[in-house]
Amino acid sequence: MLKINTLLTICCFTLFFSCKDDVNTTFEDINITTENNSVVEVNIPKAVGNKTVSSVINSEIEKEVIANLHLGEPNAINAKSIEESINNFNKEFETFQTDFPEISQPWEAQIDGEIMFSSPEIISLALTSYMNTGGAHGMLKVSFLNFDATTGKTIPNKNLINDTEVFKQIALPYFKEATKDKDIFEPELDAFKLPENIGYNDEGIVLLYNAYEIAPYSTGIIEFEIPFNKIESYLAFNSAR
């Protein structure tokens, strides 16, 4: 009887730890390309671990990459995979070369992703996209994706913060400090808008405004961080890893 109880205990511990490992989501870096690709570079994290959670996260990352590689109206995206998007981008470049042979400047597109923060509650990821289709300068864009670590579903910015108005009061001085040497209008609280990109990192909450979001392209990206100890009580998700 003792041997049976011991065996059952071992089995329970084994099942517990295997289930625990299966819940955790980790990431591996992958490079995605196609056979005839010459102008697109895609390096992104791929979620592994719990199959359900990983599948949802990877699907959202794929959608964002496809959108960033798309040329034309956002509502006209028809690519079903990153590979198809890469091929479409290359075909557009080949068509451009045929139509304008006198223009020798090559196109390029690069997308790099990194995990900014990961905890049992929330995962924050940054995708940096650079695209040049022969213009005077390329376009740089950063996108933050926040995921519920238990489901893999994306978290809207409004659900990251418990009290948006108080959060804006705390964020405004950091915004003014980050933009004090830039030629942009400094808003008062009632006109201050939070950026499209808000995410977690190891030290606090990161707020990032892409070029054109609140200022001319020449101003570049505006980014600043609010330490966790200044904002902790207003966060909807625990900052502890």
pLDDT tens readout for residues 78-95? 999 999 999 999 999 999
Are 218 and 241 members of one domain? yes
- CA-closest candidate to residue 238, choices 200, 196, 206, 197: 200
In this structure, are 121 and 162 located in the same domain? no
The whole-angstrom distance between residue 12's C-alpha and the CA centroid of its chain comes to 38
Question: Could you tell me which residues come within 8 angstroms of residue 207 by beta carbon, excluding any fewer than 6 positions away?
Answer: 171, 174, 175, 194, 195, 197, 198, 223, 224, 225, 226
Specify the pLDDT at position 64.
Answer: 97
Over residues 217-240, the pLDDT tens digits come to 778 899 999 999 999 999 999 877
pLDDT at 7: 43
For residue 100, give the amino acid letter.
F
The per-residue pLDDT for range 9-23, each reduced to its tens digit, is 444 444 444 444 445
Give the separation between CA 12 and CA 43, rounded to whole angstroms.
Answer: 40
Average model confidence (pLDDT) for the chain? 88
- Burial group, residue 158, by CB count within 10 angstroms (0-12, 13-18, 19+): exposed
Name which residue leads in pLDDT, 154 or 9.
154
In this structure, the answer to whether residues 143 and 175 fall within a common structural domain is no
Same domain, 146 and 170: no
Query: Is residue 9 one of the residues assigned to a domain?
Result: no
Is residue 77, in this structure, part of any structural domain at all?
Answer: yes
Residue 72: CA count within 13 A, CB half-sphere: 11
CATH of the domain at 203: 3.90.640.20
pLDDT, position 129: 97
Q: Point out the domain boundary residue: 139, 155, 171.
A: 155
Q: Let me know: does 59 contact 67? Beta carbons within 8 Å.
A: no
| Dist. CA 55–CA 213, nearest whole Å | 31
The pLDDT score that the predictor gives to residue 23 is 54
**Do strands 122-132 and 108-118 pair parallel, antiparallel, or not at all (unpaired)?**
antiparallel
The neighbour count for residue 131, using CB atoms within 10 Å, is 20
Q: Residue 198: which domain range?
A: 156-241
Same domain, 219 and 136: no
Q: Are residues 25 and 77 in the same domain?
A: yes
| pLDDT at residue 4, as a whole number | 43
Average pLDDT over residues 126-140: 89
Q: Among 26-30, 69-73, 136-140, which is the least confidently predicted range?
A: 136-140
Asked whether residue 12 is domain-assigned, the answer is no
C-alpha 40/C-alpha 109 separation (Å) is: 5
First-last CA distance in the chain: 42
Statement: the pTM of the whole predicted model exceeds 0.75: yes
Report phi then psi at 17, rounded to 5. -70, -35
Structure tokens at 129: 């996209």
pLDDT at 6 over 50: no
In a domain, 13, yes or no: no
- Digit-coded pLDDT (tens) for 158-178: 999 999 999 999 999 999 999
